[in-house]
Amino acid sequence: MINSLFLISHSGDIFLEKHWKSVISRSVCDYFLEAKEKAGDPENVAPVLQTPHHYLISIYRGKLFFLSVTQTEVPPLFVIEFLHRVADTFQDYFGDCSEVVIKENTVTVYELLEEMLDNGFPLATESNVLKEMIRPPTILRSVVNTLTGGSNVGGTLPTGQLSNVPWRRAGVKYTNNEAYFDVIEEIDAILDKSGTTVFAEIQGVVEACVKLTGMPDLTLSFMNPRLLDDVSFHPCVRFKRWESERVLSFIPPDGNFRLMSYHVSSQNLVAIPVYVKQNISFLETGSCGRLDITIGPKQTMGKSVENLTVTIPMPKSVLSVNLTATQGTYTFDLTTKVVLWDVGKLNPQKLPNLRGSISIQTGSPKPEENPSINIGLQIQQLAISAGLKVSRLDMYGEKYKPFKGVKYVTKAGKFQVRT
């Protein structure tokens, strides 16, 4: 199982180590740093590495490497999932998961890590349980603790730890009882030069924010649950009832959590909300090129497209761009060579257009690769998978009447247009 954890900054600085079994020298990280050097881009470091005596399994999050060391055969997915959980926990506790924040909170970080893993086996990874054991640092609590000599560490056994609902703590109390659900759908798509869909699928999630007193037992039903054939659930969801009745029945964790995620596969017809007319060309001889992009609405189901952005990573030999946008603003990052066009809201009457010239380093040949255009967008109040709709939410086990709400939003995920 997991033996040690090293936190390494993207520049290769090892700034925290934690061992759950015997201590492993940090020199083991040299193998990783070597691989990182070779990969160039930190995102391209392979997540599973083998050294003569250890296995290194790592993730890259928030410009940090979480590197775990194991000595025996372990399921690598288990380790990777756990590392992501660690990063999530830091995010949850400190509002950010960066080198600075972690350095500022080393002791809490250490306490957390000790609580999350015992002898390499995960112990408490549910945010609810952890927060009962180690309270997140807040300014107010620090003040109170300093004055009263109180402590950040819970003194009693978290109630959720061993019950059948480890994700929920007992004795939750709210004055306003509310349960909100966000249905968020992301379109992953690849369009080819002519605008034809090469591949498109939808990743959907139902994010919940539940603040209910006591032990509520909720049932969420959908208008058209048949759409969902590929789903993963939060452990709280009773799978049997889903199988037989196609309803989500669960005792919710307290606070924010992801109730379920689903997948509408590429075999179904996926609506593409916008079309992109584009032409990026480089002259065969000269040291310049042209760029011309227009975006228009396609299948938006009558809703408006907002927060439209266009990102184009240019070939490395591009020196500068001279463009004009009819709407929004554009920037060109000289080091990463990325053109970022922030369009804003899409106006179907007056389609946004970005055009102009690209200059290339003199003497360098015509770029060999075709840059791809990445689109970001948001459509409020629409689930683009053609109508996944929540029909009702029922609550059992408690007497009060909660506030309920459902929001829908469609976003572009990995949405790219080839040129």
Partner 1 sequence: MQEWASQLCENRQFGSKMTDSKYFTTTKKGEIFELKAELNSDKKEKKKEAVKKVIASMTVGKDVSALFPDVVNCMQTDNLELKKLVYLYLMNYAKSQPDMAIMAVNTFVKDCEDPNPLIRALAVRTMGCIRVDKITEYLCEPLRKCLKDEDPYVRKTAAVCVAKLHDINAQLVEDQGFLDTLKDLISDSNPMVVANAVAALSEIAESHPNSNLLDLNPQTINKLLTALNECTEWGQIFILDCLANYTPRDDRESQSICERVTPRLSHANSAVVLSAVKVLMKFMEMLPKDLDYYGTLLKKLAPPLVTLLSAEPELQYVALRNINLIVQRRPEILKHEMKVFFVKYNDPIYVKLEKLDIMIRLASQANIAQVLAELKEYATEVDVDFVRKAVRAIGRCAIKVEQSAERCVSTLLDLIQTKVNYVVQEAIVVIKDIFRKYPNKYESVIATLCENLDSLDEPEARAAMIWIVGEYAERIDNADELLESFLEGFHDESTQVQLQLLTAIVKLFLKKPTETQELVQQVLSLATQDSDNPDLRDRGYIYWRLLSTDPVAAKEVVLAEKPLISEETDLIEPTLLEELICHIGTLASVYHKPPSAFVEGSRGVQHKRLPGSAGSGESVESPDTGSAAGVSDAPPAVIPSQGDLLGDLLNLDLTPPATTGPPPPATSGMQLGAMDLLGGGLDSLLGGDLGGSSAMGAGFGAPPAAPAASFSAPVSGGLDDLFDLGGGVGMPMGTYSPPKTVWLPAMKGKGLEISGTFARRAGVIQMEMTLTNKAMSVMTDFAIQFNRNSFGLAPAGPLQVLTPLSPNQSIEVTLPLNTVGPVMKMDPLNNLQVAVKNNIDVFYFSCQYPISMLFVEDGKMERQVFLATWKDISNDNEAQFQIKDCHLSSDAASNKLQGSNIFTIAKRTVDGQDMLYQSTKLSNGIWVLAELRVQTGNPTFTVSLAQQTVWSNHCSDCAANY
66 beta partners: 7, 59
Closest residue by Cα to residue 55 from 33, 39, 40, 74: 74
Candidates 81, 92, 207, 342: give the one binding partner 1 (CB under 8 A).
81
The region, left, alpha or beta by phi > 0 then psi within -120 to 50, assigned to residue 410 is beta
The nearest distance, CB 162 to partner 1, in angstroms, is 5
The region, left, alpha or beta by phi > 0 then psi within -120 to 50, assigned to residue 412 is beta
- Contact, 337 vs 326, CB < 8 A? no
Return the number of the residue (82 or 402) whose C-beta is nearest partner 1. Answer: 82
Pattern of binders to partner 1 over 96-125, x per CB under 8 A?
A: -------xxxxxxxxx--x---xx-xx--x
Provide the b/e sequence for 24-62 (b: ≥16 CB within 10 Å).
Answer: beeebbebbbebbeeeeebeebeeebeeeebbbbbbbbe
| Rounded Cα distance, 34 and 28, in Å | 11
Return the number of the residue (327 or 375) whose C-beta is nearest partner 1. Answer: 375
| Rounded Cα distance, 255 and 347, in Å | 37
| Rounded Cα distance, 165 and 236, in Å | 7
Site for partner 1 in 12-51 (CB under 8 A): 15-23, 26, 39, 41, 43-44, 46-48, 50
Candidates 9, 219, 266, 309: give the one binding partner 1 (CB under 8 A).
266
Does residue 63 touch partner 1 according to CB under 8 A? no
The nearest distance, CB 335 to partner 1, in angstroms, is 16
Site for partner 1 in 312-341 (CB under 8 A): 313, 315
* Strand ordering across the sheet containing 274-282: 274-282, 288-297, 353-360, 318-325
Pattern of binders to partner 1 over 184-213, x per CB under 8 A?
A: ----x-x-x-----xx-x-x----------
The nearest distance, CB 258 to partner 1, in angstroms, is 7
Site for partner 1 in 143-172 (CB under 8 A): 143, 146, 149, 151-157, 161-162, 164, 166
Does residue 284 touch partner 1 according to CB under 8 A? no
Return the number of the residue (20 or 181) whose C-beta is nearest partner 1. Answer: 20
Does residue 261 touch partner 1 according to CB under 8 A? yes
